[in-house]
Chain A
Amino acid sequence: MIYSLCLLLILVGLYGVVVSRQTLKIVVSLLIMNHGVHLLLLLIGYREGGGPPIVDPGSVITEFANGAVDPLPQALVLTSIVIGLGVLALMVALCVRLYERYGTFDVTEIRRLRG
């Protein structure tokens, strides 16, 4: 059930990318899509009622492995968020530069390249 919400979020983002005419709206839509995937990754590592994946000095390792959520997807999401931030910064910078050159955020007016 909750997986379908991820799918919904990704599809909302995809819809935004395809339909939006403003460069900044496209950027935000891509961000939504990206976070949909991050949520999916987190859900894959989630376990109903699972504890935090931190080993106490006294805990038994097999018990810990059966009771904790999978920490790997969390590390992946963290990496992916950082990458996403880099791409986001670059995209916003491009939008600003495009606005300086063309005087608009409208992608239908930003079309000098053809062929």
Chain B
Amino acid sequence: MFEISMDVQNLIPMFVAVPLGMSLLVQLVARRRRVMAELLTMLSLLILTLMSCYTIGSSGIYHLGGWPTPIGIDMRLDALATLLLMTVNIVGFAVSVYSVDYMRRYSARSHFYSLFLLMVTGMNGVILAGDLFNLYVFLEVAAIASYSLVAFGCAHEELEASFKYIVLGSLSSVLILIGVALVYGITGTLNMTHIATRIAETGMDAPLLLAFGLFIVGFSFKSALVPFHAWLPDAHPSAPAPVSAMLSGVLVKAIGVYVLARLVFNVFGVMDTELGLLRWLGLLSMVVGGLLAVGQSDIKRLFAYSSISQLGVMVLGLGLGTPLGIVGALYHLVNHAMFKSLLFLNAGAVEYATGTRDLDKLGGLNRMLPVTGATSLIGSMSIAGVPPFNGFWSKLIIVLACVESGHYGFALATVLVSIVTLAYQLKVQRKAFFATLPEALANLRREPLMMALAMILLAVGCIALSFVALSGLRDPWLIGAAQQVLTSGVFGK
């Protein structure tokens, strides 16, 4: 019989190995049996979800190939990584369930599933990477997969959006690579723990500041903070709906916001000037993104601008630097992953049924698409911050944190942006789901079963997350542990 060793240490590399292996396996088996690609993808995401739940409360370092730290490559698991892994893989699982029905109208579906699994590989790798260069490599794996997924339909808009995305993405990757080179030249190591101790000893000098600036700009590109957001409103709406859900829901956070938080708090050590930079970037993104979202009539483009705005809220929370602010930011990150992917899946279901994303041509869909209508109401109310849904609690925590640390202006701005969010979400609800059904859409079919299941799963996730806050507003379950990782300062202390 098998001796099943459930040592968490040995589980760490599996987060990268499972999706990577599966993405190759999908290509091999899908030639014979089409349905195997779908099954394998769902299965691997389910395994990854269970594995990420299993890592709750544990931490560890895995040495690849058994080489000790200065020579070999490290993979590091801690509470923050667990939180991100759970988010990525749960959303990934829901999206893979959704894709079964949604992707039927595309050809070359097995390629879609392979690229999708590669994207998950990249994100898991970024979250677990223990040194800067492997972080860069995994980031590129996720990014290349996402470039090609955006272009998946090969229509005019998709290709154009993908080209814009790939040019800006490569540009930011170059900046990040220069940063990595500078850090290696100055500190003589790439391991994040060693860099952190070295910087804590010697302090920041001018070349390190330059590297830090390059990282901030590079990862702001990746997380689409204003003024580095130009690619997102094109790339996210053009992609197929499951991909939009992954991009907006988790990719910008796993390779953008998460890395920013890790670098600012755990590697470079907190300084007030850099936190101020994050606060202003956050403020700018949430205001500009929110205002631009109001004027959109394409549902997915509206949601894309709304993503920019909500990412701003998260970065503002991180920029406060207080434990409460970081709890709010991480809580909002998880919440946003749930409701934004839900909303993109809803938009996809609407497009699947009606063939259009234009709000002016839609109406009265509640009657024809009951599951989409109900779940999108939950998603909209969550993102708009209507109590008692999850978005309300996370925004409340961030506003309280602003007030607590004396930033009254930022608190006011967050509340105002929240009202703007409510305005454009109500616009979507009214125009798409509540008004009278246009003649052209009189005989629609209901959403397919798997799509409905995926949307229900994410809606239940939103509601479940609402209860997390009830266990204690200051220190929600799981998120508190992740916050301690960030506030405990540099690695290895």
Contacts and interface: CB of A to CB of B under 8 A. Distances in A.
Given A86-B144, A90-B144, A113-B238, A98 B159 contact: yes
B166 A94 contact: yes
Contacts of B181: 37, 40-41, 44, 73, 76
B263 interface: no
A87 B174 contact: no
Interface string B105-148: 00000000000000000000000000001000100100010011
Interface size of B as a range: 35 or more
A90 B147 contact: yes
Interface in B206-249: 233-234, 238
Interface string A79-94: 1100100110011001
Contact of B161 (A40, A87, A97, A113): A113
A110 B170 CA distance: 20
A90 B148 contact: yes
B163 A94 contact: yes
Interface stretch (B1-9, B149-157, B337-345, B387-395): B149-157
Nearest to B301: A115
Given A90-B166, A94-B163, A98-B163, A17 B171 contact: yes
B296 interface: yes
Interface in B163-207: 163-164, 166-167, 170-171, 173-174, 177-178, 180-181, 184-185, 190
B162 A115 contact: no
Given A34-B174, A90-B144, A17 B167 contact: yes
A101 B159 contact: yes
B170 A30 contact: yes
A102 interface: yes
B298 interface: yes
B101 interface: no
Contacts of A69: none
A29 B5 CA distance: 50
Given A44-B181, A87-B144, A94-B166, A112 B156 contact: yes
B475 interface: no
A80 B173 CA distance: 11
Contacts of A101: 155-156, 159
A113 B177 contact: no
Contacts of A113: 157, 160-161, 164, 234, 238
A80 B238 CA distance: 29
Interface in B386-438: none
Q: Which of A14, A86, A101 has its CB near the most chain B CB atoms (within 10 A)?
A: A101
A79 B167 contact: no
8 contacts: A41-B177, A83-B137, A83-B144, A87-B144, A98-B160, A110-B160, A113-B238, A115-B295
Interface of A: 10, 13-14, 17, 23, 26, 30, 33-34, 37, 40-41, 44, 72-73, 76, 79-80, 83, 86-87, 90-91, 94-95, 97-98, 101-102, 110-113, 115
Given A91-B163, A98-B160, A101-B156, 20 more contacts: A23-B163, A30-B170, A73-B181, A76-B133, A76-B180, A79-B133, A79-B137, A80-B177, A86-B140, A87-B147, A87-B166, A90-B144, A91-B167, A91-B170, A94-B163, A98-B159, A112-B160, A113-B161, A115-B296, A115-B301
Q: A-B pairs with the 10 shortest C-beta distances?
A: A44-B185, A41-B181, A113-B234, A83-B140, A37-B177, A30-B170, A101-B156, A98-B159, A94-B163, A33-B174
